[in-house]
DNA sequence: TGGGTGCATGGGG
DNA sequence: TCCCCATGCACCC
């Protein structure tokens, strides 16, 4: 089907890449050519194409120009309670401020795990999700937003936009997403089904990202099953994470005060859904396949939990985690195994905050035995204990070697602790590290590897990436190996930390990148000899040249093909030619018959396809 | 003497 | 500056 750029002033029919624009009133998204789509992604669409149109207003607060009434800027502004409009950042900060005084939690919250949240006594900042209607969240807007988004489609935000979004999405590492301190608490499965867990709301968190501000990334990380970390603790109503009732008040006086009231920027409520109720209506057909760092549902010490311990788990994996349709899986935390953890000593150092939040309280160094099931349902008993350490404690699980060996884990792999409710059964899943080559990887049937989570023995080979043939970007994002989230594993030498987002962006191999490097136009090389080879040495750094395709005829003759940036036609070039980043037909000095865009294509459709095939093979 | 245990140390956030 | 935590290491069996 022929596409046409929906930008009225463009209406291009060909482009190097079609992009998604705003959500249409009906289903789907506006189709934009590469340039227009990029402008849209970079939030400068209206500034670029609608400058002469009416409807421009200024943000009441910061004065930023806003193109009101235009669908392309629909999500970039909001109406202020006081009248007028504000850019989304200002509106958000205003709204959040209005949220701050919201209190908290009543005592009549059902005292049942998974259905309540509690307030921090003396924590006036805590608020409950139930109050969301009362604190000015605009559900209508959420619904609107949700219509325009594909919650399961991270490709909605092509990587190319990351740099352009005020550095927001691209720069904020997922793991750095801070818990929504001072915000809504958690775990209202019932309510989830009524509101937040509805498909609309579950999408809304992703929709937030459309706004292109840093907070969105925080929300993005919540996914359709986003959790809020802020279950207040240590209140009479708080429910221990385990049915056994591991309630201890030792954290009560240790809640870091700094975390209250610092974060005030969420305009939309986080879906207060800390757990996945398998088989619930909510989840049907909307299992997220995006690996998401989920703020744990609750825990005594949750205020201390660092995002790096948030379990990263797809909804699908959650579903795999339990075969019991009535079970609720509560991801608790995860930890990348250090060399010590995976070593022969058999001690797995637990993050203190996690241990105190999710494992039973222990007052003696000897601790107590903890029964944890592995992914195959095999039950292991570890000694959960601590060592005194600098007036603090260092929590460890002892006796993990057999289990770790059984799972074939090694340093760098990740273990994920979850809990199945009801029952409070602890489950230990794992995710292999990117550089982990072992049996499981080799067993992977679809060729994907690493960064995968395994929870269910029966589905051990049902990998996260398996069986998906579309939504390439999404797939890529899932299959991208997890970056190391902790310090260097097993080595103190410095190494480049490649974050997941970076990895997604880095679609070129080194060799491919070399192919694209061109001397800068002004550069004059100095020829130097290195081991009898001539090298051109440039003072100027290289620039990226236009990517071309090389083909070889059966005769052995090589050809180079380049696509015109203007008309998108492919032109044949001498193989030795290096093109600048921007190249059009008029720059075609080598074929006077095809030095204009109006000149017909040299290749018919079939040949073009063949060309692409070749380019993919090469 | 070797492995296990408990604590100390120090880098890094 | 404090605290966490990876790991070193001394001590014990």
pLDDT exceeds 60 at position A556: yes
Q: Please give the nucleotide, over all strands, whose C1' is closest to the CA of residue A383.
A: B5
Interatomic CA–C1' length for residue A421 and nucleotide C12, angstroms: 43
Cβ of A468 near strand C (distance < 7 A): no
Instruction: pLDDT band for A43, please (50, 70, 90 cuts).
Output: confident
Q: Which residues contact A387 (CB under 8 A, 6 or more apart)?
A: A365, A393, A394, A396
Q: Please give the nucleotide, over all strands, whose C1' is closest to the CA of residue A341.
A: C6
Please tell me the predicted confidence (pLDDT) of residue A507: 39
Please tell me the predicted confidence (pLDDT) of residue A501: 38
Interatomic CA–C1' length for residue A360 and nucleotide B6, angstroms: 22
Please tell me the predicted confidence (pLDDT) of residue A442: 30
pLDDT exceeds 50 at position A256: no
C-alpha A301 chain-centroid distance: 25
Average pLDDT over residues A576-585: 79
Structure tokens at A363: 């007052």
Please tell me the predicted confidence (pLDDT) of residue A360: 87
Cβ of A306 near strand C (distance < 7 A): yes
Average pLDDT over residues A278-305: 45
Please tell me the predicted confidence (pLDDT) of residue A246: 39
Instruction: pLDDT band for A78, please (50, 70, 90 cuts).
Output: confident
Please tell me the predicted confidence (pLDDT) of residue A614: 56
Q: Which of residues 462-501 of A touch strand B (CB under 7 A)?
A: 487, 492
Please tell me the predicted confidence (pLDDT) of residue A104: 24
Domains, chain A: 19-97 (no CATH), 315-431 (2.40.330.10), 544-617 (3.30.40.100)
- CB-hemisphere CA count at 13 Å for A102? 25
Distance CA A165, CA A213 (A): 7
Structure-model confidence comparison of residues A307 and A290, the more confident one: A307
pLDDT tens digits along A265-290:
222 223 333 343 333 333 333 334 45
Q: Which nucleotides of C are covered by protein (CB under 7 A)?
A: 3-8
Instruction: pLDDT band for A315, please (50, 70, 90 cuts).
Output: low
Residue A541, classed as helix, strand or coil, is coil
Cβ of A394 near strand C (distance < 7 A): yes
Cβ of A606 near strand B (distance < 7 A): no
Beta bridge partners of A29: A23
Please tell me the predicted confidence (pLDDT) of residue A40: 83
pLDDT exceeds 70 at position A14: yes
Cα dihedral A496→A499→A504→A506 (10° resolution): -20
Of the spans A126-135, A330-339, A427-436, A602-611, which averages the highest pLDDT?
A: A330-339
Cβ of A250 near strand C (distance < 7 A): no
Please tell me the predicted confidence (pLDDT) of residue A41: 76
8 A C-beta contact, residue A560 and residue A573: yes
Cβ of A486 near strand C (distance < 7 A): yes
| Matching residue, tokens 């500034």 | A47
Q: Please give the nucleotide, over all strands, whose C1' is closest to the CA of residue A345.
A: B4
Instruction: pLDDT band for A68, please (50, 70, 90 cuts).
Output: confident
Q: Which residues contact A410 (CB under 8 A, 6 or more apart)?
A: A337, A342, A433, A436, A438
Structure-model confidence comparison of residues A446 and A545, the more confident one: A545
DSSP code of A26?
S
Please state, for a pLDDT cut of 70, what percent of chain A lies above it: 40
Instruction: pLDDT band for A414, please (50, 70, 90 cuts).
Output: confident
Please tell me the predicted confidence (pLDDT) of residue A142: 26
Please tell me the predicted confidence (pLDDT) of residue A475: 30
Q: Which residues contact A257 (CB under 8 A, 6 or more apart)?
A: none
pLDDT exceeds 70 at position A561: yes
Of the spans A111-120, A137-146, A499-508, which averages the highest pLDDT?
A: A499-508
pLDDT exceeds 80 at position A338: yes
pLDDT exceeds 60 at position A167: no
Average pLDDT over residues A492-497: 31
Instruction: pLDDT band for A545, please (50, 70, 90 cuts).
Output: low
Please state, for a pLDDT cut of 90, what percent of chain A lies above it: 1
Cβ of A490 near strand C (distance < 7 A): yes
Please tell me the predicted confidence (pLDDT) of residue A571: 87
Interatomic CA–C1' length for residue A388 and nucleotide B6, angstroms: 9
pLDDT exceeds 80 at position A429: yes
Average pLDDT over residues A572-579: 80
pLDDT tens digits along A356-407:
888 888 888 888 888 888 877 888 888 898 888 888 888 999 988 888 888 8
Interatomic CA–C1' length for residue A387 and nucleotide B7, angstroms: 8
Closest by alpha carbon to A270, among A193, A332, A192? A192
Cβ of A194 near strand B (distance < 7 A): no
8 A C-beta contact, residue A65 and residue A56: yes
Average pLDDT over residues A9-23: 82
Interatomic CA–C1' length for residue A392 and nucleotide B7, angstroms: 12
Cβ of A489 near strand C (distance < 7 A): yes
Please tell me the predicted confidence (pLDDT) of residue A350: 92
Q: Please give the nucleotide, over all strands, whose C1' is closest to the CA of residue A352.
A: C4
pLDDT exceeds 70 at position A503: no
| Matching residue, tokens 């905050």 | A353
Cα dihedral A219→A220→A226→A227 (10° resolution): -40
For chain A, counts of helices (H) and of strands (E): 17, 24
Of the spans A43-47, A282-286, A321-325, which averages the highest pLDDT?
A: A43-47
Q: Which backbone phi and psi does A458 adopt, to 5 degrees?
A: -65, -25
Structure-model confidence comparison of residues A555 and A437, the more confident one: A555
Please tell me the predicted confidence (pLDDT) of residue A250: 36
Q: Which of A323-337, A435-449, A505-519 has the lowest mean pLDDT?
A: A435-449
Burial A381-405 (b: 16+ CB within 10 A, else e): ebbbbbeeeeeebebbbbbbbebbe
Structure-model confidence comparison of residues A457 and A293, the more confident one: A293
Averaged pLDDT of chain A: 57
Please tell me the predicted confidence (pLDDT) of residue A535: 59
| Matching residue, tokens 């309280």 | A361
Please tell me the predicted confidence (pLDDT) of residue A584: 86
Structure tokens at A311: 């379990």
Distance CA A451, CA A360 (A): 29
Structure tokens at A193: 């089904």
Structure-model confidence comparison of residues A596 and A84, the more confident one: A596
| Matching residue, tokens 């840093």 | A214
Cβ of A388 near strand B (distance < 7 A): yes
Interatomic CA–C1' length for residue A96 and nucleotide C9, angstroms: 52
Distance CA A125, CA A184 (A): 9
Average pLDDT over residues A293-308: 52
Q: Please give the nucleotide, over all strands, whose C1' is closest to the CA of residue A366.
A: B6
Please tell me the predicted confidence (pLDDT) of residue A207: 33
Average pLDDT over residues A114-129: 30
Average pLDDT over residues A33-58: 81
Interatomic CA–C1' length for residue A142 and nucleotide C13, angstroms: 65
């Amino acid at each position: 089907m022929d596409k046409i750029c929906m930008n009225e002033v463009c209406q291009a029919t060909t482009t190097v890449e079609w992009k998604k624009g705003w959500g249409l009133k009906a289903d789907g998204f506006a189709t934009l050519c590469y340039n227009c789509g990029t402008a849209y992604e970079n939030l400068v669409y209206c500034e670029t194409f609608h400058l002469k149109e009416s409807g421009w207003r200024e943000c009441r607060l910061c004065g930023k120009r806003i193109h009101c009434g235009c669908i392309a800027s629909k999500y970039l502004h909001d109406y202020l309670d006081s009248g007028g409009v504000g850019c989304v950042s200002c509106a958000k900060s205003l709204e959040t401020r209005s949220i701050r005084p919201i209190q908290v939690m009543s005592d009549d919250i059902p005292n049942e795990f998974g259905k309540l949240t509690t307030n921090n006594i003396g924590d006036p900042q805590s608020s409950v999700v139930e109050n969301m209607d009362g604190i000015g969240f605009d559900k209508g807007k959420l619904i609107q937003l949700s219509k325009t988004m594909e919650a399961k489609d991270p490709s909605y935000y092509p990587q190319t936009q990351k740099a352009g979004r005020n550095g927001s999405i691209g720069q904020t590492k997922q793991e750095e997403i801070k818990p929504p301190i001072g915000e809504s608490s958690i775990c209202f499965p019932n309510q989830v089904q009524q509101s937040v867990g509805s498909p609309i709301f579950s999408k809304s968190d992703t929709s937030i990202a459309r706004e292109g501000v840093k907070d969105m990334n925080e929300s993005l990380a919540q996914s359709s099953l986003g959790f809020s970390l802020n279950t207040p603790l240590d209140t009479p109503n708080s429910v221990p994470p385990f049915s056994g009732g591991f309630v201890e008040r030792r954290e009560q006086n240790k809640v870091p005060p700094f975390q209250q009231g610092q974060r005030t920027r969420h305009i939309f409520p986080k879906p207060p859904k800390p757990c996945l109720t398998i088989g619930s209506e909510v989840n049907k057909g909307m299992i997220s396949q995006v690996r998401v760092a989920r703020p744990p549902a609750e825990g005594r010490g949750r205020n201390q939990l660092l995002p790096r311990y948030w379990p990263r788990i797809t909804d699908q994996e959650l579903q795999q985690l339990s075969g019991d349709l009535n079970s609720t899986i509560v991801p608790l935390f995860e930890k990348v195994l250090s060399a010590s953890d995976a070593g022969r000593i058999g001690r797995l150092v637990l993050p203190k905050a996690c241990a105190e939040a999710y494992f039973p309280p222990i007052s003696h160094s000897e601790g107590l035995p903890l029964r944890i099931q592995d992914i195959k349902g095999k039950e292991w008993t570890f000694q959960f204990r601590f060592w005194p350490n600098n007036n603090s404690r260092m929590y460890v699980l002892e006796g993990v070697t057999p289990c770790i060996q059984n799972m074939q884990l090694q340093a760098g792999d990740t273990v994920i602790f979850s809990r199945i409710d009801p029952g409070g059964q602890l489950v230990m899943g794992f995710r292999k590290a990117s550089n982990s080559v072992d049996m499981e990887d080799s067993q992977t049937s679809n060729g994907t590897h690493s960064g995968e989570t395994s929870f269910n023995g029966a589905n051990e080979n049902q990998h996260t990436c398996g069986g998906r043939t579309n939504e390439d970007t999404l797939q890529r994002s899932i299959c991208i190996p997890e970056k190391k989230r902790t310090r260097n594993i097993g080595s103190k030498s410095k190494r480049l930390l490649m974050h997941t987002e970076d990895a997604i962006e880095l679609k070129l191999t080194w060799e491919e990148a070399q192919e694209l490097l061109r001397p800068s136009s002004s550069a004059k090389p100095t020829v130097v000899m290195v081991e009898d080879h001539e090298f051109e040495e440039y003072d100027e750094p290289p620039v990226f040249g236009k990517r071309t395709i090389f083909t070889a005829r059966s005769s052995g003759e090589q050809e180079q093909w380049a696509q015109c940036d203007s008309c998108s036609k492919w032109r044949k070039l001498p193989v030795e030619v290096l093109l600048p980043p921007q190249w059009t037909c008029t720059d075609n000095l080598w074929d006077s018959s095809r030095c204009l865009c109006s000149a017909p294509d040299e290749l018919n459709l079939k040949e073009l396809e063949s060309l692409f095939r070749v380019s993919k093979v090469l």
